[in-house]
Structure formats: C-alpha cells, structure tokens
Amino acid sequence: MRAFVIEAPGITHVAEVERPVAGEGEVLLRTIVVGMCGTDLSTFRGKNPLVSYPRIPGHEIVATIAETGPGVPDHLVPGLNVTLSPYTSCGKCASCKRGRVNACQFNQTLGVQREGAMKEYFTAPWSKLYVAEGLSIPELSLVEPLSVGFHATARGRVTAGDTVAVIGCGVVGLGAIAAAAYRGARVIAIDVDDRKLAVARQAGATDLVNSKSVEVHGALQALTGGLGPDVFIEAVGAPATFRMAVEEVAFTGRVVYIGYAKEPVAYETRLFVMKELDIMGSRNALDEFGTVIEAMRGGKFPVDAIISKVVPLEEAGAILQAWSDDPGAYVKVQVSL
C-alpha cells in the first residue's frame, strides 16, 4: 500500500509499505483525508524537536472502518466513517494520575513520535475512535485541530461574561475563537492577515484587530474600556506574542499559551505578580472531541473558508513545499487518499 514519507527535512516521497492487520481491541482503518498542520510543516522544515526521520506524518484524520479485530464493540462496523484521538497516554506519569492524559509525559502522537496515518491503511485502538454521524467528511476532518483550541478555552475557564482575545488565526486559534464564542464570550481576534481575520469573524469573533496596521495595545484598551481582555489566548508561538499576552491581559486575568516559542522569552515578571495572573499552558485535547462534534452539528463553523487546498497523496510533498515557501497562503492543507 502507498504511504507518504518525510525522509529528511525537505525530502519526501511516496513509498510502498506493508498493510497492517488489526489486533486485539484494534480496528483496521482506510484513510480518507489527512489534514496537515504547523507541526507537519515544522517536521518538513526540520524544525520539529519531537520528530525523528524518516516519518510518515498524519494526525488529523478521517477514515473508514475496514475491519475489526477481536474485542471491538459491535457498534463499530465496517463502512463507518470516524475520526480519532491521535495521542497516547502511559497511565503512570503525574499527568495521567491526575486524569490529564492529554499532557502525558510520555505521549506519542501519530505522525510525530510514531508513524502517522498518511497511508492507505492503519490500525488504531477502538477506544480512540469518535463516530460523528451527520457530519460531512470536511467537517469531520477538522475535529482534531479544533479540539486543541477548544481545550485551550477550557483551560482559560472562559464564561459568557468574559472578553477573550485570541492572537493567531490559524486553525488552532480559530478553534479557540469558536470555542469562546460557543461559551457565549465576546471574542477579539488578532492577526496580521485580513483574510484570516475575515474567517475569524465567521468562526465567531465579534471584533477584529490587524496587528500589522493597528497598534494592539490601543485597540484592546478601546475595546475593553481600558481594562484589557479577561482571557488572552496565544496561538502564534513567538516571543513578542508571549509577552503581549501578559502585558495586555486584564488584572487578575488568565493567559493561555497554545503555541510555544522556539527561543527563550524575556519577561517583565513583575506583571505576573502585580496583576496576579493565572498563566497556563495548553497541550493537545482531553474530552473536547465530543464538544467540537456537537458544536459542528450547529453548522456555523466556516469549514469551506478554512480548507485552503486538498491534494492527492502524490502531491503531498509539493504542497508542503509550497506551504513552506508561502505560509500565509494557506489556512488548512489536506491530503486525500
């Protein structure tokens, strides 16, 4: 069967690999669509510290159950379309013992620490599957990346009375925007690209700030009556935006970091104390898959505006190169098998 392989930074090819067999408690899945995110782009560029080469990417997945192994529940039958959680958990580390398995110390995400789903068939434990009847293939393909933004919003304890600023309107940031709007909050979207801000409006943002053309501090002060946003969610991963979150959030506000900077960040740490801030990281997703599915059933998420390009497996390498050359040209790239 065919599989897409990132052999080394900037080097890709389609290879023939052995078709797997479903074991105890596993299902054999035929891949339909795989989304690519910033993690995959970083792997292609050689800037992902968590990956080793060669690697088959793929963790944003829509697949059809092809076969079931022993011990799989009867409701999971061949022909059923599913998405799945791509993470693992050891059950023994501090995170797992606290029930926060999304942050397992020894997590292995599909397509990062272990081989992913960008191949014709793969196996997975049945317990990782999510059935979402009524969702289209494009909608189902966005459940995993949106769940990351939904988890960040849960970490920020967003309520209907909050004003939430989200910087970075990629898919994860759009997930945070949609989640905050779903909770009834007022949402301020910040980005350098008016095209992405227009999508953010469709996702639920009530106010838009282009940080390339507008001074962010003045804009946020004007929008919040001089108080600053109650919650600031950072989905860029740059030193400047890490600092901005702490500087712009309201006193006693909450800061949530989804992205992570690739270099050390210098802070004015007195703001941590003076403002008595809650500063939180947010990793992967926990039980947000089901919440995203329910939100998607409302039909309000701008799926068509987010999926920029769908290519066949043989063109996966070329689209990764094009995305690397012009990151702003795409919101979400997908590969169809």
Q: What is the pLDDT of residue 263?
A: 87
pLDDT score of 331 more than 90: no
User: Does a structural domain hold residue 292?
Assistant: no
Query: Which tens digit of pLDDT belongs to each residue from 249-268?
Result: 999 999 999 988 878 999 99
Q: What is the pLDDT of residue 257?
A: 98
Q: What is the pLDDT of residue 259?
A: 86
Residue 146: closest CA among 311, 323, 302: 302
**Domain identity same for 308 and 256:** no
User: Does a structural domain hold residue 73?
Assistant: yes
Last residue of a domain, one of 253, 281, 309: 281
**Domain identity same for 233 and 313:** no
CA-to-CA distance for 148 and 2, rounded, in angstroms? 29
- How many domains is the chain built from? 2
312 with 118: CB under 8 angstroms? no
**Domain identity same for 213 and 94:** no
User: What is the CATH classification number for the domain harbouring 28?
Assistant: 3.90.180.10
DSSP 69-114: -TT--TT--TT-EEEE------SSSHHHHTT-GGG-TT---BTTTB
Q: Which amino acid is at 12?
A: T
Last residue of a domain, one of 249, 281, 313: 281
Query: Which tens digit of pLDDT belongs to each residue from 107-144?
Result: 999 999 999 999 999 999 999 999 988 899 999 999 99
User: Does a structural domain hold residue 179?
Assistant: yes
**Domain identity same for 134 and 42:** yes
- Using DSSP's 3-state secondary structure scheme, residue 120 falls into coil
User: Does a structural domain hold residue 121?
Assistant: yes
**Domain identity same for 172 and 191:** yes
User: What is the CATH classification number for the domain harbouring 255?
Assistant: 3.40.50.720
Q: What is the pLDDT of residue 327?
A: 85
User: Which residue segment(s) compose the domain that 238 sits in?
Assistant: 149-281
The answer to whether the peptide bond before residue 54 is cis (omega within 30 degrees of 0) is yes
Per-residue burial over 267-283, b = 16 or more CB atoms within 10 Å of its CB, e = otherwise: eeeeeeeebebbbeebb
First to last CA, the chain: 11
Here the tokens at position 210 are 């282009």
Once rounded to an integer, what is the mean pLDDT over residues 201-219? 97
